[in-house]
Amino acid sequence: MQSINELWQRYTAFKAMDLSMNMSRGVPSPEQLTLSQEMLVNLATANDCRTDGIDCRSYGLLTGIPAAKRLFSEMLCVNSDNIIIGGNSSLNMMFDAISRAWCFGILGSTPWGRLSEVKFLCPVPGYDRHFAICELFGIKMINVDMTPEGPDMNRVEELVSSDPAIKGIWCVPKYSNPDGTTYSDETVRRFARLKPAAPDFRIFWDDAYCMHDLYEEGDKLLDLQSECEKAGNPDIAYIFGSTSKISFPGSGVAAFASSERNIRDAERIISKQTIGPDKLNQLRHVRFYRDINGVKAHMRAHAALIRPKFEAAIEVLRREFADCPEAANWTEPRGGYFISLNTADGCAGRAFDLAAEAGVKLTNVGATFPYRRDPRDRNIRIAPTYPSVDEVRTAIELLSVCIKIAYCEKNC
Ligand SMILES: Cc1ncc(COP(=O)(O)O)c(C=O)c1O
């Protein structure tokens, strides 16, 4: 490794560049958003707004238009009868699923809000907004380590089968946020075969990145719902997805899929919550993508834009840490939105602060853990999609220097 003096010199040179970059969240670049621009003009006439004999300009169809159900059934590998197409946000649907369980229970169970304790398992590192929902409800979060195959299933099985207060687990099964890990077939099967102590335990299967391959040959995720049915556990999974990072974040379409019983249970409550979702937006999406092949072609165009950014980040990391592998390791995902980097223990916070001081804002350290506490102060989530390739290179080079300084201060 370079000496600390050389590292400080490099750091000072970065500071003189007066950088101002925000890599804190995984958002598409403007070029990616433009790929879906034409969607906004495909409902120009009254006739355009009709589908399957329905006028989407009016009330009706609580659970969404059939054409959107068909599209999501292919994307999420679920039966199109057992899908609710919602509004613009899958996170909103996850929040609502917890709210329903909290107020009304699931399939006749005691409402979670009346129990003395409710716990969720949280594979770590994970998605901060999942953890924020739990924190808001006062749900106690238990960390479970991620492995290259998915969450540590020995631990998941042990905890879920022994503690009836454990009501759920958060999963991002394909290209997980932030590791980019796709759960192995064996992991999915073990999820399907879980024997929870709580009959109203649910797997919150957030398939946000189901279509987000960076390479032609994408990772393959086993279809959880069919595995659950095979295992005699049809009601254990809640599956979520959206087009937020396919079309427009904030203006996409979200979906919730599960067993028929779970969907009818949810529908009963949702029918009191709303007269129906935004069907025009659903129709805009269906008209634009047509079917799963349309989505796949669209995602290849996304990949062409963002793959070079992932590759640039990884190339810089490999070069910077070639002579000091003890200072950092990282994932090299084949899809999704993030690279997850682990510094040596106790260095992430310091590296984050140094990068911020030099003008590069990263995801807050600790955000990828429940209660914002990374017990080893080592995980940094890199979100390379928004900046340009050159900006990614600069930011990752600076970050590498910051990590090495933090490492030297502690260990050299
Ligand atoms: C794992 C995961 N789930 C859900 C979301 C948000 O999805 P939506 O926009 O559909 O609420 C994100 C956004 O970053 C995400 O990373």
For every residue of 351-386, DSSP letters joined together read: HHHHHHHTTEEESPTTTTSGGG--TTS-EEEE--SS
Give the CA dihedral 52, 54, 55, 60, nearest 10 degrees: -140
The per-residue pLDDT for 412 is 87
Q: Boundaries of CATH 3.90.1150.10 in the chain?
A: 4-26+296-411
The CA angle 179-223-145, to the nearest 5 degrees, is 30
52 CB-contact burial (10 Å; exposed 0-12 / middle 13-18 / buried 19+): exposed
Instruction: Mark out the alpha helices in 17-119 (DSSP H runs).
Output: 30-34, 66-76, 90-104
- The hierarchical CATH code for the domain 4-26+296-411 is 3.90.1150.10
pTM: 0.97
CA–centroid distance, 71 to ligand 1, in Å, is 19
Q: From the CA of 127, give the closest atom in ligand 1.
A: 1
Tokens of 257: 């899929």
CA–centroid distance, 276 to ligand 1, in Å, is 22
Tell me the sheet residues that pair with 169: 121, 203
Low-confidence ranges of the chain (pLDDT < 70): none
The per-residue pLDDT for 1 is 84
CA–centroid distance, 130 to ligand 1, in Å, is 9
Place of tokens 């853990």: 369
Q: Boundaries of CATH 3.40.640.10 in the chain?
A: 51-289
Spell out which residues line ligand 1, taking CB within 6 angstroms.
26, 89-91, 127, 172, 177, 206, 208, 242, 244, 249, 254
What fold does the segment set 51-289 form as a domain?
A: Aspartate Aminotransferase; domain 2 (3.40.640)
Ligand 1 pocket test: pick from 245, 256, 382 the residue with the most ligand atoms within 8 Å of its Cβ: 245
Distance (Å) of CA 1 to CA 316, 341, 395: 15, 18, 19
CA–centroid distance, 115 to ligand 1, in Å, is 29
Q: From the CA of 26, give the closest atom in ligand 1.
A: 14
Distance (Å) of CA 84 to CA 68, 87, 94, 170: 10, 10, 12, 20
Q: From the CA of 244, give the closest atom in ligand 1.
A: 9
Tokens of 227: 């595995």
